[in-house]
Structure 1
Amino acid sequence: MKRFWLLALSAVLFSNAVFAERIKDLTSVAGVRSNQLVGYGLVVGLDGTGDKTSFTSATFRNMLNNFGVAIPPNIDPKSKNIAAVAVHADLPPFAKPGQTIDVTVSTIGDAKSLRGGSLIMAPLKGADGQVYAIAQGNLVVSGFGVQGSDGSRLSLNVPSVGRIPGGASVERTVPNAFAQGDSLVLNLNYADFTTARRVAEQINSLLGPGMAKAMDATSIRVSAPRDADQRVSFLSVLENLEVQPAQEVAKVIINSRTGTIIIGQNVRVSPVAITHGGMTVAITENLNVDQPNALAGGDTVVTPRTGIEVDAGSGHMFEFSPGASLQDIVEAVNQVGAAPGDLMAILEALRQAGALKAELIVI
């Protein structure tokens, strides 16, 4: 069976061009972030696909007790139409009481499906134990599952997880330091000293020298007005400035499970001899010294001479020339149709030999 893999570039294919990006796409404001919320609750109204776990029964009993319905201790209120669930959501920055956020509901028992169910009011708490939102509503479940009397089962996607768009109402605001102090800190999404310097220089070219300072490879501190309204306008101007980010570090990323190989555009290969199965590739680089005729005059010249020897044997054949670029590697692999496994093994061996001038990441 034919195998496929992906060779991707960090910019335009076989091009060194780097395009300017907005500061809002390169950075985030320190302290302005979302917060994770989590809760526990019950989903009711299921069509016999709920669970019968003990904690579901205990939760159902407590809920009825809160409504003044007392269940005798010797009765176990089990029902296949109820499921115990975990509820989680992300509380966005600056969310105010009364606004709604999306929630995800997942079974934590042996419930088969949440299709057709409704979540009963469940408080969502933050890491500090405080309630920040209340979730309730009808679930949207993309998957479904059916089971026959003989035990056979057919399912599509995951019916035990559902979502409630706008299913939680925000009850508490998370404080942040956006309007505090006399400066803002912009954090790069990807740490890079060159990009941090360029962001600071671009801001200083607009506001004046010393207004922005690169603190390290990630953070740029910018002097900002104290008034909240002026700070919003100030940041609105900054985030639309365009900066040309630095080129990424040379990387080769290998996904051994899917056969995906991603090679950055700055990857280089130095002279090396490669043997893989029935294939041998030898790459050498020598220096020739040309002596001029004593009577004719002139200078002694040293010229590089590259030699490439390939013993194909019974296997695939491709070449890595000295200082080979990404384009050379891709073209060589495409011409011979080498399998992804072969290329993975060669790239890993090149890295161990110090011939692959890139960071090798296996995921």
Structure 2
Amino acid sequence: MFPTFDGHNDLLLRLHNHPENREAIWLTGEGKGHLDLPRMQKGGFKAGFFAIYIPSPEAHDAPDYMAQMENPPFSIPLGDLISEPEALPVAMSMARQFLWMERASNGQFKLCTTTAQIRDCLNSNTIAGILHMEGAEAIDANLDNLYAFHAMGLRSLGPVWSRPTIFGHGVPFAFPSSPDTGEGLTDAGKRLIRACNDLKIMIDLSHINEAGFNDVARLTDAPLVATHSNAHAITPSSRNLTDRQLHMIRDSKGMVGLNFATSFLRRDGKQSGDMGWEDVLAHLDHLLETLGEDHLGLGSDFDGATLPNGIGDVTGLPALQQAMLDHGYGEALMQKLCYDNWLALLDRTWG
């Protein structure tokens, strides 16, 4: 089994939603969700990005989006912009949970802000956690909160989830659809990118639309990264990356993490987990061909998506690795895809 460095998960949302049960969720497992400390250790999860994500308010008359995604074609309306005063308490709650995870783990989990710390964790059999923000709703236009979260350990940020922020525009959940769905970065978004470069905060392009992607590419001095996205050529979802975008990521010495979400993997766009390895391997093959073997890794979306039944949860990582080996991926390539490429990307991004 190869150690796994994972590009994205939403465990902090589970902890935020159930703080009264956080010991069971994190330390012992409660038989729910995709991640907890014992299952991560069992599945070989050694490092990953843990996302602060602001959920949309639930409306009583909201349509059943999950049902719509079972029957493509679909185009799910985006939620309204969430203001910084609304988002900040939720983001702070998740940041607190992340810091608590380290304290509660008795040395088995560590918040990392440098690649040296991540390497030390691998050598000491400690899980390395990186604090990420998926959608910058909790950041104000003056960027004061960005500096505050950076002081708390934030080292990775996506300017948008799929709804708009004051910084830019995300893609809707739509199939089939191009990622070219709207306007690019706002003036505040351009300031955000420059500030992230100054602070060496990695910029995640997974949910941003194509115009915003292009704007970031023009502004940034860092590698282009999509922590949890797949190939549009295989599954034409708005959330997946075109070959042009993939070439731009490759040329910047950037990185893509393969998203395990079924609706971005299956060629038919459905959300059902009833699928084999064929579409997963088709995405991996295409991403390898387009990016090269130094710019691809894994970006599971654990606790944030429906997964193929063959993976199920974090303990399914060895099954995925076996499917990749059976497909002909050699051990040296597997080590790159499962762990080393993410670490090398952070060396290039963080310095």
Shorter-chain TM band: under 0.3
Greater strand share, 1 or 2? 1
Greater relative CO, 1 or 2 (CA 8 Å, sep 6+):
2
Give me the TM-score of the superposition, normalised by structure 1. Answer: 0.19
Flag the structure with larger Rg.
1
Give me the TM-score of the superposition, normalised by structure 2. Answer: 0.19
Greater helix share, 1 or 2? 2
